[in-house]
Amino acid sequence: MANNYITQLQIIARCEENNIPYAVLPLQDGATIVVTQRGARIFGPFLAPDAASLNWVNAAFASAPAFRAFLHEGNWNLGGERLDWS
């Protein structure tokens, strides 16, 4: 499954533009993941901030207008991995 080449920098930019709380967590060897409050999603891992996610991310993250439209339409599948708190 293609990951649409969405980078950590793009995910952070879309979160900041839309006031979505997030955290960047370090992993081994310089890799990171991004965790968002919306949807309890984990994006990445990323091998560098400008590298594509190794897991699928919705293509809406590619541009600010596309992402705003995605959220406005009530879509929920941001991609990434979901957390289950139960």
For 47-62, how does the pLDDT look when each residue is reduced to its tens digit (9 = 90+)?
Answer: 999 999 999 899 999 9
Q: Tell me how far apart the terminal alpha carbons of the chain are, to the nearest angstrom.
A: 28
Q: What is the pLDDT of residue 3?
A: 53
Q: What is the pLDDT of residue 79?
A: 83
The pTM for the full model equals 0.87
Where does residue 38 rank: exposed (0-12), middle (13-18), buried (19+ CB within 10 A)?
middle
Lowest average pLDDT, out of 12-21, 29-38, 60-69, 77-86, goes to 77-86
pLDDT over 80 at 85, yes or no: no
Give buried/exposed letters for 57-76 (b at 16+ CB in 10 A, else e).
bbbbbeeeeebeebbeeeee
